[in-house]
Structures are given as C-alpha cells and as structure tokens.
C-alpha cells in the first residue's frame, strides 16, 4: 500500500526512509487535515506544539504496545525516530536541529482541553472516508483469495497481513468462515448503537463518563460517538449521534438493545432518517412485548420454516455448539411506530461434548417488511448487534485496559477513548482481526506504523 503523509510549507522534507512520505500533501480527508479542523482553545503564546502534532503523536502512540495511557504514549514518543516525528509535525529545535515530541505533561494538559465530541466527529469522518483492504483489496471487492489460507502460497498474502512465515490466525479464520457461511442475498449495511462507561475515570462517588457509540456491523469501525450528559440517559443522545454517524458511513439498518426501544426513537428512525430499526422488546414496553408473545405463540418451528416465517441456524466454535431458531409474524394491531414485524429468537448453547444446554428467549420488533428482512436477515442483524460489544467495548477493556486507566482530568478520558476507536478502526480497515497482534505488528517497524493512516 503506498505511503502518504503531510508536509506543511514550514516543515522541510526529511531525507531517508520517510522522504517520499514527507513530500506528499495529505489535504482533504487526511488525518492531519481532520486534526487541524479541531478547535484549539489554547492561547497563542502557549502553543509551542501545534494541536495536530499532539493529536498525531497521541494517535500513533495509542497504536503501539504500551500506549494504553498518556505515560505510555509519552514513552513511545521519546524513543520515536526523528523522521517519524518530523512527519507528525513535531517542533524542530532551532539549536540542535532535532524534532522534539511533546512531553507527558503537555500531552496530558492539551488532550484534557480538547472537545471530545468534536474530535469524535472528525476522526469518524476520517474513518468513513477510508476504503477497507478487506473490501477493496487486491483480491476484489468483498472477496478473499483461497491462497490466503495456504502456507505454501503465503507470499501471495498482502504484506501487512504477513507475520514471519504465516498469516494472522484470526484473520485467516474470519476469511475462511466468510467463505463457508456466506450471508443470504439482501443483507443491508447496519450499525449497532450501545453505551459504555469509563469506569476507571470515576472520581469519588461520581460515576465515570458515559459514551454512546455506533459501530458498523461488518467494517468494525466506529461511525459516531458522543458523551452522554451528566444525570441523563443514552436515549436522548441517540438522535444527534445518528446525525453525525450518517455523515461517516452509508447504513440502512440500526440495531439497538432494549434500553433504546422507545416510541420516539422508532419514529425518528423511520420518519426523519428513513432507516430500518431492529429493536429488542423487554419489560420497558410491556404492551408491545405481550402482543409479540401472543402473535408468535402458535405453530411449530418446522411449520414456520415451511411458511417462510422461520429459520434455524447451527453454529459450532469456541468450544461450544449453538442453535438459533427465529420465527416472525406480522405486527398487525401492535401499537408501535411503523412496526411491520415482530420476531422471537430462541438460543440454545451447549459446550462441545458437554451434557448441559442453556436456553435464552428474546423478542424483538422491526419496521422492515418481510420482503426486505426475512427471518434469516433478522437473525443476522440481531447477532451482529453484539459486534459493538465484541469488537469495540471488549477490545478497549481487555487490550487497552480502559477500565483500569484512571485519567479523569477534563476531557482526557473521552479523548483517549476516541483515539482508541480511531486506532481500532484503522486496524480493522487493514483487515486485522486480532488487535493485540496488530499492535505488536506495527510497534517496532516505523514504515508500517506510518502507513497505518493516511496523513
């Protein structure tokens, strides 16, 4: 993949391995252009380091092993090569001619003063404008070559996915699974909305900041994120979040959990935005839940499958066997905005070779008619809703130790979460499935690290 970067008029092009990068101007949708669009609230006399260079250093530090905190980012910046610091726009000392990275104190102070919501908008729009290698790579749109899983043909794998003599295991398995279990025709692009608390940033009796985000189902990039105002819930923040997210990606279906299953959200998605919704029904909508249970009570699963209102999916992996059975019915007479169908999903999970079986039943409602979203489609949308937990929240908690990060000054917790989303999105765009592996892959090779973003 060609390397691109930013070279401002007052930053001379460097010689060496980054010479070609420094001569290219990353205007338009480049990351540095997005960083420059973020408002800098500092006084003019207190700007030894530009805001875009500080954000760039923090982003690249977050992408490396150990960059879970401001201290870890600062340690990486202290050891970063001069050529890389030059491309990131770090200040050049007029006496020594060396580029100086911002100190830990500067990073902490400046990042705490950045508007997190504004930074989220800019970074999400950057990710929305980037083509994913897995979608538009050398193997064709949405396709992966069979040779990717053949050790003898390992040289045919894209360079950024090679690891020694092998390929990233999780990426290889994801591609193999996509070939073995293709989606049915007509599956629409969707986004999953869910909130997350930054528990490590809590102060005394006060709760930590709450962030609501929308994750693209298949691309795995965050299309939008907003901080939830204190003493409020996620529900009123979903509408402004969707306005920002729709500018970052083309989605047609929005999936939410039971907390967001409210009438106003359903009306807004249908009438104002023209989107399909897939919502889970629980006790917060007792009348709709009771009506759905009544509509779906009759008949057998086999009868529903024969009538094209049912579908059964079997899956095996991660040491367990899973059976998901879904049946649908028309939402006739159910008082819920623009409701077209209700559905019931029964999940039965057992350990591979084990005797025990757990069973879970969930009810839902959607405004998508049967010719747009049949039982198999609805099952996919409901399952993909959990990508926001598996591919964003879980990774930030386990790989980045977000809940252990005790940064709590000003906007710092929000900004660090935003940078983690940016890095995760960049890794996903490069077709990495294992984020911990991806961080190791980019940490010690500056050329790889610089190619991670379009500066």
421-439 pLDDT, tens digit each: 999 999 999 989 899 999 9
Classify residue 12: in a domain, yes or no: no
- Per the structure, the complete domain to which residue 144 belongs is given by 135-180
Q: Given phi > 0 = left and psi -120 to 50 = alpha, else beta, which region is 64?
A: beta
| Domain match, 120 and 160 both | no
110: CB partners within 8 A, 6+ apart? 42, 49, 51, 54, 102
Enter the DSSP assignment of 160: G
pLDDT for the residue numbered 191: 95
Nearest residue to 227 (alpha-carbon basis) of 33, 91, 421: 421
| Domain match, 214 and 162 both | no
Only one residue has tokens 């608390």, namely: 197
Nearest residue to 365 (alpha-carbon basis) of 387, 337, 393: 337
| Domain match, 374 and 427 both | no
| Domain match, 88 and 60 both | yes
444 with 55: CB under 8 angstroms?
no
| Domain match, 156 and 97 both | no
pLDDT for the residue numbered 204: 62
129 with 123: CB under 8 angstroms?
no
Count of CB atoms within 10 A of residue 335's CB?
11
Beta bridge partners of 364: 280, 343
Measure the CA–CA gap between 421 and 435, rounded to whole angstroms: 12
pLDDT for the residue numbered 24: 38
Burial category of 386 from C-beta neighbours within 10 Å (exposed 0-12, middle 13-18, buried 19 and up): middle
Nearest residue to 225 (alpha-carbon basis) of 396, 453, 40, 107: 396
| CB half-sphere exposure, 34, CA atoms < 13 A | 26
Classify residue 300: in a domain, yes or no: yes
Classify residue 6: in a domain, yes or no: no
| Domain match, 112 and 139 both | no
Measure the CA–CA gap between 76 and 270, rounded to whole angstroms: 47
Report residues of the chain scoring pLDDT below 70. Answer: 1-29, 131-167, 203-206
Residue at which a domain ends, from 145, 180, 215 = 180
pLDDT for the residue numbered 137: 36
| Domain match, 170 and 214 both | no
| Domain match, 227 and 121 both | no
pLDDT for the residue numbered 353: 73
Pairing, β 276-281 against β 253-256? parallel
Classify residue 425: in a domain, yes or no: yes
- For CA atoms 110, 115, 120, 125, the dihedral sign is negative
pLDDT for the residue numbered 59: 97
Phi, psi torsion values for 141, nearest 5 degrees? -65, 125
The total domain count for the chain is 3
| Domain match, 258 and 165 both | no
Measure the CA–CA gap between 239 and 88, rounded to whole angstroms: 35
| Domain match, 212 and 327 both | yes
215 with 277: CB under 8 angstroms?
no
Classify residue 218: in a domain, yes or no: yes
CA 453 to chain centre: 16
Query: Which secondary structure element, helix H or strand E, spans residue 75, and what is its range?
Result: helix 70-79
| Domain match, 141 and 117 both | no
Count of CB atoms within 10 A of residue 312's CB?
17
| Domain match, 385 and 313 both | yes
Query: Where in 144-203 does DSSP place strands (E)?
Result: 162-163, 166-167, 190-197
Measure the CA–CA gap between 43 and 14, rounded to whole angstroms: 30
395-410 pLDDT, tens digit each: 999 999 998 888 888 8
How far, CA to CA in Å, does 274 sit from each of 128, 238, 248, 321, 452?
A: 20, 15, 16, 37, 35
pLDDT for the residue numbered 157: 44
Q: Enter the pTM of the model.
A: 0.84
Nearest residue to 22 (alpha-carbon basis) of 11, 30, 33, 31: 11
Beta bridge partners of 206: 203
Only one residue has tokens 């920002």, namely: 244
Phi, psi torsion values for 310, nearest 5 degrees? -145, 160
Classify residue 455: in a domain, yes or no: no
Classify residue 1: in a domain, yes or no: no
Residue at which a domain ends, from 180, 212, 240 = 180
Classify residue 13: in a domain, yes or no: no
Only one residue has tokens 């159910």, namely: 334
Token code pair at residue 279: 């919502």
């Amino acid at each position: 993949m060609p390397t691109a970067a930013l070279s401002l008029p007052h930053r001379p092009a460097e010689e060496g391995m980054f010479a070609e990068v420094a001569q290219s101007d990353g205007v338009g949708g480049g990351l540095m252009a997005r960083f420059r669009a973020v408002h800098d609230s500092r006084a003019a006399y207190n700007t030894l380091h530009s805001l875009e260079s500080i954000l760039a250093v923090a982003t690249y530090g977050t992408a490396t092993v150990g960059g879970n905190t401001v201290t870890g980012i600062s340690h990486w910046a202290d050891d970063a090569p001069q050529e890389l610091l030059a491309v990131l726009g770090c200040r050049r000392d007029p006496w020594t001619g060396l580029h100086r990275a911002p100190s830990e104190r500067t990073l902490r102070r400046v990042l705490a003063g950045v508007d997190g919501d504004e930074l989220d908008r800019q970074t999400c729009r950057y990710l929305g404008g980037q083509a994913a290698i897995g979608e538009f790579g050398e193997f064709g749109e949405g396709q992966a070559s069979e040779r990717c899983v053949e050790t003898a043909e390992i040289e045919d794998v894209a360079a950024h996915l090679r690891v020694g003599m092998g390929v990233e295991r999780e990426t290889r398995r994801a591609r193999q699974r996509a070939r073995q279990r293709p989606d049915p025709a007509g599956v629409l692009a969707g986004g999953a909305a869910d909130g997350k608390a930054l528990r490590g940033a809590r102060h005394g009796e006060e709760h930590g900041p709450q962030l609501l985000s929308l994750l693209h189902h298949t691309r795995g990039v965050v299309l939008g994120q907003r901080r939830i105002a204190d003493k409020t819930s996620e529900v009123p923040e979903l509408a402004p979040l969707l306005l920002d997210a729709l500018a970052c990606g083309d989605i047609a279906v929005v999936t939410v959990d039971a907390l967001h299953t409210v009438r106003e959200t359903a009306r807004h998605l249908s009438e104002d935005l023209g989107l399909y919704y897939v919502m889970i029904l629980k006790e917060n909508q007792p009348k709709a839940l009771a009506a759905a249970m009544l509509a779906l009570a009759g008949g057998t699963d086999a009868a529903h499958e024969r009538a094209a209102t049912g579908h059964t999916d079997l899956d095996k992996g991660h040491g367990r066997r899973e059976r998901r059975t879904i049946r649908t019915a028309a939402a006739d007479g159910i008082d819920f905005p623009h409701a077209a169908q209700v559905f019931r999903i029964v999940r039965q999970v057992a350990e591979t070779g084990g005797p025990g079986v757990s069973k879970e039943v969930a009810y839902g409602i959607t405004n998508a008619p049967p010719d747009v979203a049949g039982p198999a489609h609805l099952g996919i949308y409901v399952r993909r809703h959990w990508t926001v937990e598996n591919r964003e929240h879980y990774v930030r908690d386990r790989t980045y130790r977000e809940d252990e990060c005790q940064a709590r000054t000003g906007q710092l917790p929000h900004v660090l979460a935003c940078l983690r989303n940016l890095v995760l999105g960049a890794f996903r765009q490069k077709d990495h499935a294992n984020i911990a592996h991806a961080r190791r892959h980019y940490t010690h090779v500056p050329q790889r690290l610089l190619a991670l973003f379009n500066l």
